[in-house]
Structure formats: structure tokens, C-alpha cells
Amino acid sequence: MKKFFILFFALLSFLKAEPSLDELADFTPMFAIRSLETGISLSPFRKTSKRLEDQNWFLKEIVANDELKARDMHAKDLPFGYVQFISPRGDDICLAVLSEKSFGTKSCKQDLQDGTMQTIFSIIPMTNGSIQIRSLTNGGNQCMSTFPDSSIAIENRFGLGECLLDRSIVTALSKLFFFSPAIIEASAIY
């Protein structure tokens, strides 16, 4: 009888549970953004959160309207669409370009309303399976990159640099990224 009650209440808790972001139609499954040069994941929460899930992102497509395309100087030659990287902490917390040498977070909706484009990115596929991630700040002419600076911890050396848009030229590893499976705690198998 005790097992029956435990099973019954467990079932009730599952029925009342809210879906996670990766179960919603607008979001992809959780993943990590990693530098091809260092392998380190991009996360503004590395020092402020003990949860490994906070080092991951969800991808949300932004419908390209005429206003958005007008602010992107490469809209015609790079028609790959636009995305926001959403934090597992909430569906209105987006990865944002704070300066040319730092990333943080910002309200996704506020960024779309005020038009600063700090949370809007375009993903450029490369021939070697990696990607460049182009930011729409400053007209869309800069991409995520890593940079050498011994005064900054290596896990914080993410910023913006010039995009290399000519695919016939070998792109520096510092400008290349890849999406990896989500960083989560491993569960023991018995």
C-alpha cells in the first residue's frame, strides 16, 4: 500500500510539472557554445552559478523582418537567419554582447524592443563543420572570437573580432566555434 501511495504522488507531481525550455516548440535542446581554439564553453555564469546547466544555451529563431535586415550590412550575402541564445535560467535571459571583449546577459524582449541588437546573432556554417557566430551589433560586421590576453582568465577571453567571410581562406581557430552536447552532471550507472 505504501508503494502505491508513493507511485500515485510521484505521478501527480509529473502531471503538474511545467515543461522545461527544451520541450517547448520555440526552443532547441540544450547545448554548449565552445571555442574550437580552446574547447572552453562560453558562459557568463561560470563564476556566479554552481549549476552546470547554466553553462548551456537554448537556440531560438528570430523571424527576420525588413527592419532587422536593414540593420544587417550582410543580410543579402549571408542569408542564414537570426537567433538568440537563451539561458536555462529563464526564457527572457539571453546571451548579449556587452563590449568587444565581454559577453553577459540581457532581457531578450527588451533587446528586440530597444533595437540595440546585443542579443541577435547569425550562424555562419564553415566548410570544416565549425561555425562563425556573427553579432548584429555594429551592423553585423563582427563575429565571436577568442583573444590572447594574459591579464584575463582564459575562460573569459571571449569577445568580438572581424568576421572572415571569404570561405576560400583558412579561418583562424580563434574565430571558429562549435555546438557541443549540454554540459550536465553525469549520472552514475549501476
Distance CA 72, CA 84 (A): 15
Q: Which helix (H) or strand (E) holds 181?
A: strand 177-181
Note the pLDDT of residue 25. Answer: 56
Q: Print the domain residue range for 171.
A: 20-181
Position 49 in a domain: yes
CATH of the domain at 117: 2.80.10.50
- Length reported for the chain: 190
Q: What is the DSSP letter of 128?
A: T
Amino acid at 180: S
Position 12 in a domain: no
Q: What share of the chain is helix, strand, coil (3-state, %, to 5)?
A: 25, 30, 50
Under-70 pLDDT residues of the chain: 1-27
Note the pLDDT of residue 142. Answer: 94
Q: Tell me the pLDDT of the chain averaged across its residues.
A: 85
Whether residue 174 contacts residue 163, with contact meaning beta carbons closer than 8 Å, is answered with no
Distance CA 119, CA 111 (A): 7
Q: What is the pTM of this model?
A: 0.82
Note the pLDDT of residue 27. Answer: 66
Q: What's the domain count of the chain?
A: 1
Q: What is the pLDDT of residues 28-53, one digit of tens each?
A: 899 999 999 999 999 999 888 889 99
Position 46 in a domain: yes
Q: Which helix (H) or strand (E) holds 114?
A: helix 108-114
Position 11 in a domain: no
Output the DSSP codes for 1-41: -HHHHHHHHHHHHHHHPPPPGGGSTT-PPPEEEEETTT--B
Contacts 24+ apart (CB under 8 A), 43-47: 44/95, 44/103, 44/104, 44/105, 45/87, 45/89, 46/155
